[in-house]
Amino acid sequence: DDSQPSSNGRSTAFFIWWFGCFVETILFCFADKRSNKEVPNSELDSSFLNRLTIQWFTRLPLAGARKDLEVEDLFELNEGNTANFLERQWEYYWVPTMKKYNEKRRQLLEEALMTSKLMSNGTSQEKSNIKLEPPSVVYNLFQMFKYEFLVSMGIKLCSDVLQFANPFLLNLLLDYVSDTNAPLWQGVAYAL
């Protein structure tokens, strides 16, 4: 059939692209060593595909199936999950908060002392009952993990919106399928 244009160039480009994707997938099976510790962190040293399939963790349950696990069998924690790292991060946010709180407390105690001295001298002044709120642990935890919280909240919000939008999107998709004159871009947009 001479009316069909030749697609040899398109086919060749497709096979070159496919071969490149295949080679890239094979290369993703290998990972560079990131840690120089004697007991390396299996998660950090794993390849992209191992992380997707959580194959880096397989060694631990297999060892636990053969014998009781001991501390030496466990992986090293990531630097961001260690107590030292989290303690430094906590102190970075908590120490200034406590300094502000202690400064306000000291000022209130000085004012109360001055008020009590004035009242003992016979000068009549109203006693101030200002209650100082203790610093918020929750606020400081939010400050420490604000990006993790915000990203998680964003993902959860998208998930909830899509959950409620599913019937509406399904109705639009069914209307598109039943309409023979609907443009292709509309169907692609609904499918995405």
Residue 104, pLDDT score:
92
DSSP tally for the chain: helices H, then strands E = 7, 0
Q: In this predicted structure, what is the pLDDT of residue 152? A: 96
pTM score, two decimals? Answer: 0.59
Question: pLDDT-based confidence at 76, cuts 50/70/90?
Answer: confident
pLDDT tens sequence across 9-23: 888 899 999 999 999
pLDDT tens digits for 132-141? 889 999 999 9
Distance of CA 169 to the CA centre of its chain: 28
**Residue 1: per-residue pLDDT:** 47
CA 170 to chain CA centroid, nearest Å: 30
d(CA 110, CA 80): 42
What pLDDT shows up at residue 103? Answer: 94
Domain boundaries, the chain: 7-76, 80-144, 145-192
* pLDDT, tens digit, 9 for 90 and up, residues 39-65: 567 787 788 888 888 888 888 899 999
Mean pLDDT of the chain: 85
Q: Is 54 left (phi over 0), alpha (psi -120 to 50) or beta?
A: left
